[in-house]
Structure 1
């Protein structure tokens, strides 16, 4: 697992920074976001993507652990993330029709892609197939890029503050 330490450090730093920026962005307009379900659900989904990436990074940097153990942990992370994202997605489905980019993202959901790839990587590592962890790379990239795009889309929906 030592060869995955660098990936864990980079992923953890990126995910933590993006989660922090999301908190800042949401906090600036918390009154509007808290009152609108069509803003709350995507914000929560975005946070879940960043937290999933962060937890994967933590698993990758745990010292002296076998790939089998890491694989089991990654599979559990993928299951927990999938469950959380399914619950959050139910709330997001009850909102108005998305933009063209939003429709494309629903069809090629980076959320689903990331969770499936992380889960597959975990299962393959758990059964002893060494290259299995390489499925994490596109899974993490999909989670981080998907989270940034989600954040951009929901932040664009926030109405402008009237000038005083």
Structure 2
């Protein structure tokens, strides 16, 4: 069993590095959409008194998350094509990730808020995000700061906090071009 685990780890290491290399290559090329999961937070669920208009009632970036957002911005600035637009979930942790990383006020886009359990609402929300992605035709980057469940629903990828998933439209869905872990 131990040998199997070690072999599995050795097998997966090249894929992790390759995925990051492919991600950076796609970011350098530009013309793509980046689904960025918000940076690290404190806590694991929303407080009982949650209010979308009040950051003090939400799960927010931790100090480590703020540092991670600064790192994301620095690395994008040094290694990626310019950013044309930044859209964000209306949740403070996403807005703050965007503000800190890209030093700009993001466009709040409600479809990037966490997907609900209601299938009809989820379908409508996913369609709104897909419409934005399909409509993007810039030569730089469109960054969409969002949540785990949204990225999973759109791509099947389960990103870490602060991870970028670079995508392009393909048929009815999205093709993952690469990933970058910050």
TM-score by length of 2: 0.32
